[in-house]
Chains A and B, each alone.
Chain A
Amino acid sequence: MATVIDSKKACTVNPLKMSQPLGACYAFMGLDNCMPMMHGSQGCTSFGLVLLVRHFKEAIPMQTTAMNEVSTILGGLENIEQAILNIKKRANPSLIAIASTGLTETKGDDVDGYLNLIRKKHGETLAGTDIVYVSTPDYVGAFEDGWGKAVLAVVDAFAQPCEVRDDHLVNLLPGAHLTPADIDELREMIEAFGLQARVMPDISGSMDGHIPENFTPTTLGGTTPDALRQLGAARATLAVGARMDAAAAAIEERCGVPYRVFDRLTGLAAVDDFLQHLSQLSGRPVPHKYRRQRSQLQDVMLDAHFWVGSKNMAFAAEPDLLYALTTTAAEMGAHVVAAVTTTHSRVLEGVPCAEVLVGDLEDLETRAKAGGAQLLITHSHGRQAAERLGIPLHRVGIPMFDRLGAAHMLMVGYRGTRELINGWANIFLADEHQNTPQDWPLPEESRRAASGAEATSCSTGGCGGSSAIPAVDVVPDAVGA
Chain B
Amino acid sequence: MDARVSAKIQDVFEEPACEHNQNKSAKEKKKGCTKQLSPGAAAGGCAFDGAKVALQPIVDVAHLVHGPIACEGNSWDNRNSSSSTSQLYRTGFTTDINELDVIYGGEKRLFRSVKEIIEKYDPPAVFVYQTCVTALIGDDIEAVCKRATEKFGKPVIPVNAPGFVGPKNLGNKLGAEALLDYVIGTEEPDFVTPYDINIIGEYNLAGELWQVKPLLDALGVRILSCISGDGRYREVAYSHRARAAMMVCSKSMINIARKMEERYDIPFFEGSFYGIGDMSETLREIARLLVEKGAPEELKVRTEALIAVEEKRAFERIAAYRPRLEGKKVLLITGGVKSWSVVAALQEAGLEIVGTSVKKSTMEDKEKIKELMGQDAHMIDDMTPREMYAMLKDAKADIMLSGGRSQFIALKAKMPWLDINQERHHAYAGYEGMVDLVREIDKALYNPIWEQVRRPAPWDVVAA
Contact = CB atoms under 8 A, between A and B. Distances in A.
Interface of A: 9-15, 17-19, 21-22, 37, 40-44, 46-48, 50-51, 53-54, 57-59, 63-69, 72, 79-80, 82-87, 90, 101-103, 106-107, 137-140, 142, 211-212, 215, 217, 360, 381, 384, 401
A67 B164 contact: yes
Contact of B49 (A47, A137, A217): A47
8 contacts: A9-B116, A11-B94, A11-B116, A12-B69, A46-B44, A64-B42, A87-B40, A217-B386
Interface string B392-410: 0000000000001100110
B117 interface: yes
Contact of B46 (A22, A43, A57, A63): A43
Given A46-B49, A139-B101, A140-B98, A15 B37 contact: no
A63 B41 contact: yes
Interface stretch (B132-140, B194-202, B213-221, B325-333): B132-140
B76 A138 contact: no
A14 B77 CA distance: 9
A352 B95 CA distance: 30
Contact of A401 (B72, B78, B96, B164): B78
A80 B39 contact: yes
Interface of B: 1, 37-49, 64, 67-78, 87, 90-99, 101-102, 109-110, 112-117, 120, 132-133, 136-137, 162-167, 385-386, 389-390, 404-405, 408-409, 412-414, 453
B74 A22 contact: yes
Contact of A12 (B47, B87, B95): B95
B96 A15 contact: yes
B412 A212 contact: yes
Given A15-B72, A44-B46, 13 more contacts: A18-B69, A42-B163, A43-B46, A47-B45, A47-B70, A48-B70, A82-B39, A86-B41, A102-B70, A102-B102, A139-B101, A139-B133, A384-B87
B91 to A, nearest CB: 6
A86 B38 contact: yes
Contacts of A37: 40
A84 B40 CA distance: 6
A61 to B, nearest CB: 10
A465 B261 CA distance: 68
Nearest to B77: A381
B75 to A, nearest CB: 4
Contacts of A381: 76-77, 92
A340 B112 CA distance: 22
Contact of A103 (B87, B114, B133, B408): B133
| Leading 8 A-B pairs by shortest Cβ distance | A43-B46, A83-B40, A11-B113, A86-B40, A10-B112, A138-B68, A83-B39, A19-B70
Contacts of A142: 69
Contacts of A42: 37, 42-46, 163, 167
A12 B166 contact: no
A57 B68 CA distance: 26
Contacts of A215: 385-386, 389-390, 409, 412-413
Contacts of B390: 215
A72 B113 contact: no
A107 B132 CA distance: 11
A42 B43 CA distance: 7
A69 B386 contact: no
Contacts of B132: 40-41, 43, 72, 102-103
B112 A50 contact: no
Nearest to B42: A66
Contacts of B41: 63, 83, 86-87, 90
A140 B70 CA distance: 11
A139 B102 contact: yes
Given A54-B78, A102-B132, A138-B70, A63 B164 contact: no
A415 to B, nearest CB: 26
A106 B40 contact: no
Contacts of A86: 38-41
Contacts of A79: 39
Contacts of A17: 69, 73, 96
Contact of A13 (B69, B87, B92, B136): B92
Contacts of B91: 13-14, 384
B356 to A, nearest CB: 21
Contacts of B165: 68-69
B412 A19 contact: no
B37 A14 contact: no
Contact of B74 (A51, A69, A360, A384): A51
Contacts of A65: 39-40
B408 A58 contact: yes
Most chain B CB within 10 A, of A42, A58, A107, is at A42
Contact of A66 (B37, B133, B137): B37
B137 A10 contact: no
